[in-house]
Amino acid sequence: MFATEFLDLPPLAGAHGRVVLPGSKSISNRVLLLSALCRGRTTLHDLLDSDDTRVMLAALRQLGCGVQQDGTTVVIDGLDGKLPATALKFFMGNAGTAMRPLTAALAVLGGDFELSGVPRMHERPIGDLVDALRQLGCQIDYLGNDGYPPLRIGRPALTLDAPIQVRGDVSSQFLTALLMALPLVATREIHIEVVGELISKPYIEITLNLLARYGITVRRDGWQRFTIPAGARYQSPGVLHVEADASSASYFIALGAIAADATAPVRIEGVGESSIQGDIRFVDAARLMGARITSGPNWLEISRSSWPLKAVDLDCNHIPDAAMTLAVMALYADGPTTLRNIASWRVKETDRIAAMATELRKLGATVEEGADFIRVEPLPSATQWKAATIHTYDDHRVAMCFSLAAFNPARLPVRILDPKCVAKTFPDYFEALFSVTTPVSGAVPVLCVDGPTASGKGTLAARLAQALGYHYLDSGALYRVTALAALRAGLALEPQNEAAIAALAERLPVRFVGEQVLLDGNDVSDAIRSEEGGMNASRVSALPAVRTALVALQHSFRQLPGLVADGRDMGTVIFPDAPLKVFLTASAEKRAERRHKQLISKGISAILSDLRADLEARDARDTSRAVAPLKPAQDARLLDNSDLSIEKSLDLMLDWWQSKQPFSNV
């Protein structure tokens, strides 16, 4: 997951490949709570690992559930409808799929509980659910503004003889919460009546489907009346597999429609058109706009059919979350697109109608918004597009939707603020996106950092890569790693093994994570930085075929979303087109002092004057050698960090990089 302040997406050109989606948030949090309410043990496979599910799991542990977790498999030992007698306070973050149903379950069973969340959760309405629960005799008090969390729950005095009325036109989660909670107290038939038109009906279908899996068959009269049978009792299904998230599939369906060729489609695994999730109907909307989609039991394949995409005018009540993706697809359409019946967007993680309209306008679009609709004019000309900084409002779907704007014909980058907000449902979304997209040729940025020995270039380059979310290349370590890999493969570091060592270097499985060096996933940092490691590096660097192979390997590090390359020749030979090259300098005196402190901290004795003399001698050798002499590239920025901290030097480098970006709006 990218945890940076922002993530810059270079302009993208195409898409193909395979994506395995995470589990559905809607299903995951429902089955977690249902499993907790059962007697016995339930094993859940392919559960979503995200912020929202972690919130629910934390709450279940507080309630005394046995929870065993191994990756995406979770085993729940249920409570059989019995809650602890102790007072508990629950922090629910911004997880509506956890807050609403847990509130209802706690309220009907009773206890001494408080539920709160982040500030945005305290702006999301819950009054209609509270009103419905109070009709039953539940004791619920508001601790802040009426109609909104935080809440305090006490012990109820239940009366079940009259139908329970709940509004259906604000959020389907209120009805879902009642349907999941009331079987716990169904000593007689319980009737729920929906007031007004029920929105997001497919989410209620998910709830009813899952209730049946747990032994509760709810009678439904249209969408206005639901009956929970007398004597209902939750029964564990034993084992349950969670479908992949159909809402998350929408971004990759759109990706295929925008950028995939029919001969090399985007393949989505984990969900097919037979899914129980309503958002799978996004495939119908995508087909209307020009996507070519084929499907199997648990997969979809998508490619572009019509281009530009076709404008649509759609009622999106049945796909409220996935419909957001259509708003960005509309930028590539042949006319204005109108999405209707989306009033529920206003009460989600943010006011999504306002948020989408604001951010689409930043890209250059003309947008009209109303109480329950949004109308988006396309951007047919490349000159109309703008390089935008997308504010994400702590809303995962805003971040994921706007990643699709990177396919703009103007070949402009797109900046996504707070990319880690995708952790709510799809923590590895951007990694998945990059795995199936190809950038515009030459568009992946490279930042090169060079300088004399002990100038701090390695530390600063690693920190710069971390701040930007870019890959990191420590080119100076490659010969050391190559030597180590060759020796481990049984190859003596001799000229007669040159071809074999070069072949090994071409496919060297090396990664750099901060200042760690990983070879085939194992940390070899200490092994290659020994005196012996340096001597071995000198021996392999003398082999011309190895040097050639490592040039190709270094080029392979230029991957989405960008690269920071540290070392000799990076800006002059390997990446001469790099848009930012920094040459670090510092006096020999300062560098000697830094090296002295470093050695002393490791318990290695050293004489400061000797270290300075050694550095001055190395500088003289490096700057005067015939091959690859140490010197800054002609267009490099010089940074003398003799009197600068690492943080100040890093800030300066980030400022230089920002000054080269086209983003102006925030």
Q: Which active-site residues does the annotation give?
A: 321
Q: Tell me the three-class secondary structure of 4-63, residue by residue.
A: CCEEEECCEEEECEEEECCECHHHHHHHHHHHHHCCCEEEEECCCCCHHHHHHHHHHHHC
Q: How many residues belong to the chain? A: 666
Residue among 279, 298, 281, 276 at smallest CA distance from 209: 276
Q: How far apart are CA 623 and CA 500, in angstroms?
A: 32
Token output for 642: 């003799």
AA letter at 90: F
Exposed e or buried b per residue across 19-57, where buried means at least 16 C-beta atoms within 10 angstroms of its C-beta: bebbbbbbbbbbbbbbbbbbeeebbbebbbbbbbbbbbb
How many beta carbons lie within 10 A of that of residue 525, not counting itself?
17
Q: How far apart are CA 262 and CA 438, in angstroms?
A: 16
AA letter at 68: Q
Query: To which residue do tokens 């993706």 refer?
Result: 325
Q: Specify whether the CB–CB gap between 167 and 187 falls below 8 A.
A: no
CA distances from 345 to 319, 348, 547 (A): 11, 6, 56
421 Cβ contact partners less than 8 Å away, ≥ 6 residues apart: 392, 394, 395, 396, 398, 399
Q: Specify whether the CB–CB gap between 265 and 303 falls below 8 A.
A: yes
Q: Specify whether the CB–CB gap between 244 and 210 falls below 8 A.
A: no
Compute the C-alpha angle 571/627/638, nearest 5°.
35
Q: How far apart are CA 550 and CA 651, in angstroms?
A: 31
Residue among 261, 639, 656, 205 at smallest CA distance from 452: 639
528 φ/ψ angles, rounded to the nearest 5 degrees: -85, -20
Give every strand in the sheet of 367-369, ordered side by side.
313-315, 337-340, 373-376, 367-369
The continuous run of DSSP H or E covering 353 comes out as: helix 352-362
HSE of 466, CA atoms in CB hemisphere, 13 A: 14
Q: How far apart are CA 147 and CA 239, in angstroms?
A: 38
